Structure 1
Amino acid sequence: MGSSSFGRALLRCKPVSALVDEHGGGKGHLQRSIGLFQLTMLGVGATIGTGIFVALTAAVPEAGPAVVISFIIAGITAALTALCYAEIASTIPVSGSSYSYAYATMGELVAYIVGACLLLEYAVSASAIAVGWGQYLNEMFNDLFGWQMPDAISQPPGAGGYFNLPAIVLVAMCASLLIKGARESTTVNAILVVVKLGVLALFVVIAFTAFNTENLEPFTPKGWLGVGAAAGTIFFSYIGIDAISTAGEEVKNPRKTLPAGIILSLLLVTAAYVLVAFAAVGAQQWTEFAGQDAGLAVILRNITGSNWPSLLLSVGAIVSIFSVTLVVMYGQTRILFAMSRDGLLPKLFQKVDPQTMTPVTNTYIVAVFIALLAALVPLDVLANLTSMGTLIAFAVVSAGVIILRRTRPDLPRGYMVPLFPYVPIASVLFCVYLITQLPWNTYLLFIVWIAIALVIYFGFSFRNSALAKTGA
């Protein structure tokens, strides 16, 4: 193959019509069973639980009380990206999220790299979320029985643990539910989301009774660099936007339902995040957050002097972290499914159970990988790696909106980004800014991951691409 034809092969794009047609139904396809309420709850479920229940205690020491601004910066970035997701998801309503969108707009190699970013983002974020489960279980056990699991089996490495057993149990429970089917998984998730929104509302009400403006001083103790660093760290908690678009093949009336679900879930999430963060830093000195396991539950116990509010919040966090892990694992199995169907990963990843119409093999593989990460890798490393993968995927989607408007203005769109092209451009710039705020070791680990992915691409995917076999 000559260098020019090799270059063209790397940049070959999958026609939008082919993407939509192959996701239309029948054997080897997923079932359309998800409505707007379930989809919105899927987005909220994938989002609320990480930045508030787990990562807040890591973000406050970086930014101080100005962590509220960090959440707003991350929320603005997510909002700009959400508008872009809403347009492209309504134009290409398929599973695979930003991987599939990149394949239609930027070519196979870029799509494959985005797919690798997504697999990293989903696996690592599920692990980061699962890590926090043991902390809130211990808080609940302490409130109920005055007993806690030993740190060696309930904490991540770097925090006194050797092997995080609760995280493995959580992943196994989520995998068993996902195997039952998408309808069952999203229904359970919707119930859990309503519960955790109620628990967070309770936290806000109680925390505001102890609100002290002196706790907000100094507002930016680490300067604006600290605010940016915290925004970069917590951005992984906005992964729910992408998780919604992975359900593209299982949503009823996707051209209308997908954009509505994306925008509704983001509005709910951002309002909840900012309210809870503001109430938390107003009720407790920012210097007390560092190393505070199950932080929100501890704040409530300190305010009320009683265990029951802390117990309720711990139960809410346990429910919340379960629902986030469930949705994130769901998203990863669907991305593997889409990449396998395109020939870029082995065929075993596209096997669908004839009864449940779910990719069962994927679920087992994903569960084992996530459980090992959650059991053995420190939390801060997991959070920053997730942010890197999320931000790259978001930037690609925003750029894809611009490309698709230029190359295929004729495509039917259920929603169109306002103030085009300024919103997609602003989204890309915000994503790049947050990427620059991540620590250097995150870049190093990310480069290693992409290097491994490229070895797999040129060793297997390039030669087995379904698009190449069609002569594209």
Structure 2
Amino acid sequence: MGNKTRLNKELGLFDVFAISTGAMFSSGFFLLPGLASQYTGPSVFVAYLVAGIMIMPAMFSIAEISTALPRSGGAYFFLDRSLGPLMGTIGGLGTYFALMFKTAFAIIGIGAYASFFWEVPVKTIAIMATLFFMGLNLVGAKKTSGLQNIFVIFLLVVLGTFIVDGLYNIFFTDRVDIPGINDHFDPFFTDGFEGVIITSGFVFVSYLGLTQIASVAEEIKNPERNIPLGMLLSLIVTGLVYVLGVFVMVSVIEPSEFANDLAPAATAVKKLFNWLPGDLGAYLMTGAAMAAFASTGNAGLLSSSRYPFAMSRDTLFPAGFSKVNKMGTPYAAILLTTALILLFILILSEEGIAKLASTFQLFIFMLINLSVIVFRNSKIESYDPGYRSPFYPWMQIAGIIISFVLIIYMGWMAILFSAAIVLVAVLWYRYYARLKVKREGAIFHWFALLGKYQYPDIENEFMTILKEKGLRQGDPFDQTIINARIVNLERKINFEALVEEVSEVFSTEMHVDKDVLVKEFYATSPIEPALVIPGVSILYAKNDGVDHPSLQIIICKNGIRKPVSKGAISSEDYIKVFFFLVNSSEESRQQLRMLSRLIDIVERDEFLEEMLRITSHREMKEFLLHNERYITVQLLPGSVQGETIGKALKEVKYPTDVLVALIERGGETFPPHGNTILQENDVLTIIGEPRSIAQLFDRFVRLNKDKDKENGKALN
């Protein structure tokens, strides 16, 4: 994937939390509670709790797939790569329109609340807000999420104050204008268990923003940690605000009034916040409502615009929508999405469109839960999620059943609307996309296990994603490089004999079967850089008896003739640098991550020339480790680091998160231990966390430069 279609990774954990949380606090808190109480009465806050629990299977499934395949497009990309491009088209177009409908509705809410204070046309304000959000999105996701963070912080402060003040007045005061706790809660269930389930389906829309984060997964830093953690924190915080906030509303508003109230939070706050002067409390809650609708509209435009962008990259949409501008944002997709949202604002006014859109979202949740089952059963090794859904597959089966039941309760109009979207998507795929697409989903790998057709290119794509994700925390790549055996071959040898000798070394060191290793090294590898980078080859093997990764590097300046292949392409080349990597069979995905990191290294400019030029094994390993996590220090008399000469390594105080990995002494390189005595002219290779390495750089390199300058001035 070229840089012109790649998005910048700018979003951190709080950005994930803010986008997810901000997409939920709008109609769910400021509009729906009163209407929902018509179905179940004062137990409406329990329905919010049930709805939060019911969305958990979809959340866990989306978190798993997002950490395995962090790509823009969310549901579209997941369904396309699991169930095939037809289902991807249905999911992509359907979710795209569903998100735009809900975004348009939220932005109209901004105009509606603004009209409470100023005599302005509602839709005029909504159009201006949409154009403002478009400008932010064109500048970049970080700028968009920055505004989102402000919205969410303001919202949480106001709503948190509302809940604390409400609970205090309900339980700890004797105010006559707030009735006793039993007055509004009898009967608690007005329509029994069925009423709670119907209401849970009705307010289920309040949590759908939780899953919007999947559509911007490609732009999230450290997605394997930030996506599941951000979504879980968002669900906990949002669930607490919904349940406690609606409980306060039920407690302070008369039931007959509450059931028909379109602004229950504003009504409730009139009886609370009496410690603020005048109508300041009402102004604050109205401002929070506007911020909520604005955050939903902002997050909605951000996430929905990624659907045409992702579908365009896969040729399901015209090619122009996959381009990004200098800011790294998909400008064509943002402009199209903005135009459609403006159209919906002008022609739609019914709030029921949110319910229709949510019905299709439930259908998508069914398919996403199925996708996790498909990915797991496809046995694709490069499907490597950093987070795995708990209670698999029962969690996914429960999610499918929950979505199906809630769709039934949504009614026939919502079901027919979803069927219409499916029909449009099928026609789009049949008459536009089918001739342009030559891939199938992971479900074909599941079929392959039953002797059916398999689509191999999906493994290559997943490997590309794995390579972009990089190593996982705890992967022993650096240690494997440090301990690697490097052999400079001067004698002539053929490829077969080289494999035999390398396998013999591994077999002796690790007590594993040599013939098994030879067979593994000969196997056709999907990771073979030799066709792209002549002169370099990576071979790997797995064995049950291996307890830690091990690497051998063979340097042969004259080259060894070796057949190379990748897919249907094959040729022969003279290989001058070989990497042989051995891992445990139980760590096959770790091996793929380490191999992907090796490929990143060998793809550096002039890699082969540098490897052949370097003669020191220490320098060669440093070249392979080269990043912000290491520094080289030579112990010279008179220098800052020279003060450690003659000391045991364990006596030297370095930061706790760094390690002296290698020492070069007299032309030989070895890994030291605590009792190793440091000697003059030793060259130390230190690896560790970037912050501590930067401190050592300041201490050893910059201090020495300053010292040299001072000595120079003294001599002058």
TM-score normalized by structure 2? 0.57
What residue in structure 2 maps to residue 205 of structure 1? 164
**Alpha-carbon distance, 1:54 to partner:** 2.7
Secondary structure of the residue aligned to 1:437 is helix
Contact 2:39–2:191 (8 Å) recurs in 1: yes
The counterpart of 1:191, out of the listed 142, 150, 158, is 150
Q: How much does 1:148 deviate?
A: 4.5
Q: In structure 2, what is the equivalent of residue 12 of structure 1?
A: none
- Is 1:167 equivalent to 2:126 in the alignment? yes
Shift of 1:449: 2.6
Instruction: Select the structure of larger CA radius of gyration.
Output: 2
Comparing 361-370 and 179-188, the one that deviates more? 361-370
Pair 1:368 & 2:334 matched: no
Partner of 1:265: 234
Secondary structure in 2 matching 1:432: helix
Structure 2 residue 353 is the aligned partner of structure 1 residue 382: yes
Question: What per-residue deviation string (whole Å, max 9, x for no partner) do you get for residues 268-300 of structure 1?
Answer: 111111111111111112321344343311221
Amino acid at match of 1:245: A
Amino acid at match of 1:181: G
Structure-2 change in CA distance of 1:426 and 1:370 (3 Å)? same
Residues 439-458 of structure 1 aligned to structure 2 (within 5 Å): 439-458=411-430
Choose between structure 1 and 2: higher strand proportion.
Answer: 2
Residue 26 of structure 2 aligns to a residue whose secondary structure is coil
- Out of 41, 58, 71, the residue aligned to residue 18 of structure 2 is 41
Distance 1:101 1:297 in 2: 40
Q: Distance in 1 between matches of 2:39 and 2:103?
A: 23
Question: 2:319 and 2:34 mapped to 1: Cα distance?
Answer: 42
| Identical columns (%) | 27
2:136 alignment partner AA: L
Deviation at 1:350, TM superposition (A): 1.4
Among residues 307, 313, 322, which one is paired with 1:341 in the alignment?
A: 313
Paired residue type of 1:43: S
Paired residue for 1:29? Answer: 6
Q: In the alignment, which residue of structure 1 is the partner of 2:631?
A: none
* C-alpha contact 2:110 2:126 (8 A) present in aligned 1: yes
Matched, 1:295 2:264: yes
Aligned partner of residue 27 in structure 1, secondary structure: helix
The answer to whether the Cα contact below 8 Å between 1:244 and 1:261 also exists between their aligned partners in 2 is no
1:245-324 alignment to 2 at 5 Å?
Answer: 245-303=214-272, 306-324=278-296
Cα distance, 1:444 vs structure 2: 2.2
Decide which of 17, 22, 46 is 1:69's aligned counterpart: 46
The count of aligned residue pairs is 429
Gaps of 5+ in 1: 1-21, 142-146, 155-163
Q: Distance in 2 between matches of 1:369 and 1:295?
A: 31
Q: Displaced runs of 4+ in structure 1, greater than 3 A?
A: 222-226, 302-306
- In structure 2, C-alpha distance between the alignment counterparts of 1:272 and 1:226, rounded to whole Å: 22
Decide whether the 8 Å contact of 2:362 with 2:407 is kept in 1. yes
CA distance in 2, matches of 1:56, 1:374: 24
Partner secondary structure for residue 233 of structure 2: helix
Aligned-partner SS, 1:358: coil
Does the C-alpha gap of structure 1 residues 58 and 132 become closer, same or farther in structure 2, counting only changes over 3 Å? Answer: farther
Cα distance in structure 1, aligned partners of 2:259 and 2:108: 17
Deviates more, 1:372-381 or 1:426-435: 372-381
Name the structure 2 match of 1:17: none
CA distance in 2, matches of 1:212, 1:400: 49
Aligned partners of 1:73 and 1:324: how far apart in 2? 22
Which range moved further: 170-179 or 373-382?
373-382
The one-letter code of the counterpart of 2:15 is: Q
Task: Please list the CA deviations of residues 396-441 of structure 1 after superposition, one character each: whole Å capped at 9, or x if unmatched.
Answer: 1111111111112633221111121111111111111111110222
Which structure carries more relative contact order (alpha carbon 8 Å, separation 6+)? Answer: 1
User: What amino acid does structure 2 have at the position aligned with 1:167?
Assistant: A
Q: Do 2:253 and 2:267's aligned partners in 1 also have CA atoms closer than 8 Å?
A: no
Say if 1:211 and 1:358 are closer, same or farther in 2 by CA, change over 3 A. farther
**Equivalence for 1:15:** none
1:331, distance to aligned residue in structure 2 (A): 0.7
Q: CA deviation at 1:111?
A: 1.4
Q: Deviations over 1:222-277 (max 9, x none)?
A: 44433333222222222223211111111112222222222221111111111111
Name the CA shift for 1:375/1:456 in 2 (closer, same or farther; >3 Å): same
Residue 232 (str. 1) matches residue 201 (str. 2): yes
Structure 2 residue identity aligned to 1:269: T
Equivalent of residue 397 in structure 1, options 343, 349, 368: 368
Change (3 A) 1:291 1:465: farther
SS in 1 for 2:70: coil
Q: Is the 8 A contact 1:40 1:264 kept in 2?
A: yes
Task: Name 1:467's counterpart in structure 2.
Answer: 439
Matches within 5 A, 1:210-225: 210=178, 212-213=180-181, 214-225=183-194
Aligned to 1:131: 108
Distance 2:346 2:190 in 1: 34
Q: Distance in 2 between matches of 1:90 and 1:435?
A: 28
For residue 69 of structure 1, give the secondary structure of its aligned residue in structure 2: helix
State how far apart, in whole Å, the 1-side matches of 2:436 and 2:255 are: 53
CA deviation after TM superposition for structure 1 residue 466, in Å: 5.7
Question: CA 1:32–1:225 in 2, change beyond 3 Å: closer, same or farther?
Answer: same
CA distance in 2 between counterparts of 1:277 and 1:296 reads 8
- Measured against aligned partners, the alpha-carbon deviations of 1:43-66 in whole angstroms (never above 9, x if no partner) come to 111122231123223322233222
Find the aligned partners of 2:340 and 2:32 in 1 and give their Cα distance: 22
The question of whether the paired residues in 2 share the 8 Å contact of 1:127 and 1:382 is answered with no
Instruction: Give the secondary-structure state (helix, strand or coil) at the position aligned to 1:192.
Output: helix
Greater share of helix residues, 1 or 2?
Answer: 1
